[in-house]
Amino acid sequence: MATESPKETGRKKAVSWLTDNRVARSIFRRGYPDNDLDRAAVMFSNFFLHVLPARTHVHSLKPTYTWGLGIISLFLFVILLGTGALLMFFYVPSTERAYSDMKDLEFVVSYGVVLRNLHRWAAHAMVAVVFLHMCRVFYTASYKAPREFNWVIGVLLWGATLMMSFTGYLLPWDQLAFWAITVGSSIASYPPLVGEYIRTLMLGGDTVGQNALIRFYVMHVMLLPGIMMILMGVHFWRIRKDGGLSRPPAPLSSPAPGEAAAFSPHKTYMLVELAEGRTPMVDSQAPEEEVMSWPHTVFRMLVVFVGVVAVLSVVAYFFDAPLEELANPDHPPNPAKAPWYFLGLQEIVSYSALAGGVIVPAAAIIGLMTIPYIDRNPEGQGTWFTSGQGRRITLWSILVIIPVVIVLTYLNEHYAVRKLVPGASQIWVDLLNPGTILIVLFAVGSLYIWRRTGSSRMGALALYSYFLTSYLIYTFIGLYFRGANWAWIWPWQATGLH
Ligand code: HEM
């Protein structure tokens, strides 16, 4: 029999000293879990851990499957709640106080600037990470049954994340904040009939002023975080109910109604209830495909959390969040730019307000909300890009759309409708601009691929990749290639771009 090493004995003694006492047991109820029964019990009995199952499928733990993006999104949200609460001690949402409170954070409050930096960079990171998480869920076909509705909840979370960042943007009350929100809220006013109403509701008037500041503040610190917490609760609950994360179907699957049973020989089953149909929880997964969540999942999460905090702290220490001069409603910067995640829309608005303010956002929202209900066959769940064919279609969709976007943008720069025919009616501008043309091309291209391959999943892969690539290009153009009066410039000609 192998004897215990002194190191192991020492470790056990230390653990027992920490956990085998009345106070620790009054909090955690059980000692340190060193057998599978206790490891399972720890997951059930801990308020924070019971969101996880007692055992986790090994596929869900592969770093290259999720890249940890969902959990990083959650951690960033928690960090934002913490730093945001601390910032609230030093901030008054009034047009007279807001900017000087920002300056005080910089010069008066100890570590105020680091606190503000942490909050600002975590917010930017959250927008990017949630977006990447959505892309991973899409490209692994994890929106398919039974996860369709969780995808829809995810889309709502994505919208709420953008709104959280957008509402926070105004609070420093500097030139950057004031004009980014002025541009952003004017994009929101473009939808016919409801647009003006949305803007008035958002700003509490026609322009960005005290009413807008207090509304943005309340949405930022109360309404949106509250809504997000509820949505996240449902999101995580549904992941459990849907049988954990998606994965490729197991070779032996439980029978469809009417089929002969083909249960895994490795697993024991308990008949809780007689019901017709499949349950994802009993999808013939052998015990060797699962590991105990304690410690495998919990410790991985802990490492990710420490990593997120470490990276953020370094960034917050070395890079300061921007703070320009005090907001001046009479002196717009030229160009006035929306926050970076809306710059793609602002670029398209510059071609046609209808295309950038209505057609493109509506196509994106409707497309995202309905994709699980259109692409219904279960093909490709749990595998990146579904198959070799999916990989090729994704790559080609990206490669084909890049020159198309560049050519359309070039043509619009030189031969836009109003440049060719100065008095042309607005309808031609709305029809013949890169935004509207691209939406039509996306629809035609993805339908063609669907018909050609006979697979809705292949069509969906093409559609998503078209959207993603072209939006990134337009964001890039808005960031680096637009100067005064939104005229084309080269990045090295830029002055004072934020
Ligand atoms: C605040 C934003 C969000 C948070 C905190 C969050 C969190 C998570 C976490 C922790 C997971 C499990 C681990 C992982 O997949 O990385 C997950 C899975 C999932 N998320 Fe999100 N998520 C968010 C936004 C979204 C968005 C924008 C979408 C899609 C539009 C989405 C759709 C899904 C789906 C369908 C799953 C299940 C994936 C599977 O079974 O493989 N989530 N989310």
State residue 22's pLDDT score.
Answer: 87
Q: Would you say 77 and 229 are in contact if contact means Cβ atoms under 8 Å apart? A: no
Q: Strand, helix or coil at 83?
A: helix
Cβ–ligand 1 distance for 137 under 6 Å, the answer yes
The pTM of this model reads: 0.91
Tell me the C-alpha distance between 497 and 280, whole Å: 51
Please identify, by atom number, the ligand 1 atom nearest to the C-alpha of residue 152.
Answer: 30
Q: Would you say 105 and 223 are in contact if contact means Cβ atoms under 8 Å apart? A: no
Tell me the C-alpha distance between 255 and 262, whole Å: 6
Residue 130 CA to ligand 1 centre (angstroms): 8
Q: Take atom 12 of ligand 1 and give the residue whose Cα is closest.
A: 70
289-302: per-residue pLDDT in tens?
899 999 999 999 99
Does the pLDDT value for residue 404 go beyond 50?
Answer: yes
What are the angstrom distances between the C-alpha of 193 and each of 88, 190, 202, 212, 230?
37, 9, 16, 21, 31
Q: Strand, helix or coil at 261?
A: coil
186-217: per-residue pLDDT in tens?
989 988 889 999 999 999 999 999 999 999 99
Does the pLDDT value for residue 242 go beyond 50?
Answer: yes
State residue 293's pLDDT score.
Answer: 95
Tell me which DSSP letter residue 221 carries.
I
Does the pLDDT value for residue 407 go beyond 60?
Answer: yes
Higher pLDDT, 472 or 251: 472
Cβ–ligand 1 distance for 235 under 6 Å, the answer yes
Tell me what percent of the residues of the chain surpass a pLDDT of 70: 91
State mean pLDDT over 85-102. Answer: 98
Counting ligand 1 atoms within 8 A of each CB, the residue from 137, 151, 245 with the most, and so the one to mutate, is 137
> Which amino acid is located at 297 in the chain?
T
State residue 498's pLDDT score.
Answer: 45
> Which amino acid is located at 417 in the chain?
V
Contacts 24+ apart (CB under 8 A), 291-294: 291/55, 291/56, 291/58, 291/61, 292/36, 292/39, 292/40, 292/54, 292/55, 292/56, 293/39, 293/43, 293/49, 293/52, 293/53, 293/54, 293/55, 293/56, 294/33, 294/39, 294/40, 294/42, 294/43, 294/49
Q: Take atom 8 of ligand 1 and give the residue whose Cα is closest.
A: 70
Cβ–ligand 1 distance for 239 under 6 Å, the answer yes
Measure CA 455 to chain center. Answer: 27
Q: Strand, helix or coil at 444?
A: helix
Please identify, by atom number, the ligand 1 atom nearest to the C-alpha of residue 138.
Answer: 29
Least confident span in 341-345, 379-383, 470-474, 494-498: 494-498
Structure tokens at 32: 């340190």
Handedness of CA 237, 240, 246, 249 (dihedral sign): negative
Tell me the C-alpha distance between 205 and 126, whole Å: 30
- Minimal CA–CA distance to 456: which of 364, 368, 373, 358? 373
pLDDT band at 13 (very low <50, low <70, confident <90, very high): confident
Average pLDDT, the chain: 91
Q: Would you say 144 and 372 are in contact if contact means Cβ atoms under 8 Å apart? A: yes
Tell me what percent of the residues of the chain surpass a pLDDT of 90: 76
pLDDT band at 308 (very low <50, low <70, confident <90, very high): very high
State residue 497's pLDDT score.
Answer: 46
Cβ–ligand 1 distance for 142 under 6 Å, the answer yes
Q: Would you say 402 and 391 are in contact if contact means Cβ atoms under 8 Å apart? A: no
Residue 395 CA to ligand 1 centre (angstroms): 24
State residue 108's pLDDT score.
Answer: 97
Which run of H or E residues covers position 126? helix 112-139
Structure tokens at 152: 């829809």
Tell me the C-alpha distance between 164 and 220, whole Å: 6
Radius of gyration of the chain (CA): 26
pLDDT band at 1 (very low <50, low <70, confident <90, very high): low
Cβ–ligand 1 distance for 116 under 6 Å, the answer no
Q: Take atom 6 of ligand 1 and give the residue whose Cα is closest.
A: 70
Counting ligand 1 atoms within 8 A of each CB, the residue from 72, 232, 235 with the most, and so the one to mutate, is 235
Q: Would you say 263 and 254 are in contact if contact means Cβ atoms under 8 Å apart? A: yes
Please identify, by atom number, the ligand 1 atom nearest to the C-alpha of residue 71.
Answer: 10
- Minimal CA–CA distance to 143: which of 372, 365, 385, 369? 372
Tell me which DSSP letter residue 111 carries.
T
Cβ–ligand 1 distance for 154 under 6 Å, the answer yes
At a CB cut-off of 8 Å and minimum separation 6, what does 158 contact? 130, 131, 134, 368
Residue 154 CA to ligand 1 centre (angstroms): 6
437-457: per-residue pLDDT in tens?
999 999 999 999 999 999 999
State mean pLDDT over 48-70. Answer: 95
Q: Would you say 39 and 275 are in contact if contact means Cβ atoms under 8 Å apart? A: no
pLDDT band at 17 (very low <50, low <70, confident <90, very high): confident
147-181: per-residue pLDDT in tens?
999 999 999 999 999 999 999 999 999 999 999 99
State mean pLDDT over 101-130. Answer: 97
Q: What are phi and psi of 290, to 5 degrees?
A: -120, 155
Which residues pair with residue 57 across a beta bridge? 290
Structure tokens at 339: 């926050």
Domain range annotation of the chain? 52-246+291-332, 334-491
| Strand locations in 90-177 (E) | none
State residue 272's pLDDT score.
Answer: 56
Cβ–ligand 1 distance for 150 under 6 Å, the answer yes
State residue 203's pLDDT score.
Answer: 96
Residue 127 CA to ligand 1 centre (angstroms): 13
State residue 483's pLDDT score.
Answer: 93
Fold of 52-246+291-332: Cytochrome Bc1 Complex; Chain C (1.20.810)
* N residues, the chain: 498
Tell me the C-alpha distance between 220 and 166, whole Å: 9
> Which amino acid is located at 480 in the chain?
Y
Please identify, by atom number, the ligand 1 atom nearest to the C-alpha of residue 155.
Answer: 30
Residue 355 CA to ligand 1 centre (angstroms): 30
Please identify, by atom number, the ligand 1 atom nearest to the C-alpha of residue 73.
Answer: 5
Cβ–ligand 1 distance for 294 under 6 Å, the answer no
The secondary structure of 162-212 as a DSSP string is: HHHHHHHHHTT-BHHHHHHHHHHHHHHT-STTTHHHHHHHHHTSSSSSHHH
Q: Would you say 222 and 250 are in contact if contact means Cβ atoms under 8 Å apart? A: no
Cβ–ligand 1 distance for 117 under 6 Å, the answer no
Cβ–ligand 1 distance for 405 under 6 Å, the answer no
Cβ–ligand 1 distance for 130 under 6 Å, the answer yes
Tell me the C-alpha distance between 498 and 457, whole Å: 39
Residue 249 CA to ligand 1 centre (angstroms): 20
Cβ–ligand 1 distance for 43 under 6 Å, the answer no
Cβ–ligand 1 distance for 246 under 6 Å, the answer yes
Handedness of CA 458, 461, 466, 469 (dihedral sign): negative
Cβ–ligand 1 distance for 129 under 6 Å, the answer no
State residue 286's pLDDT score.
Answer: 61
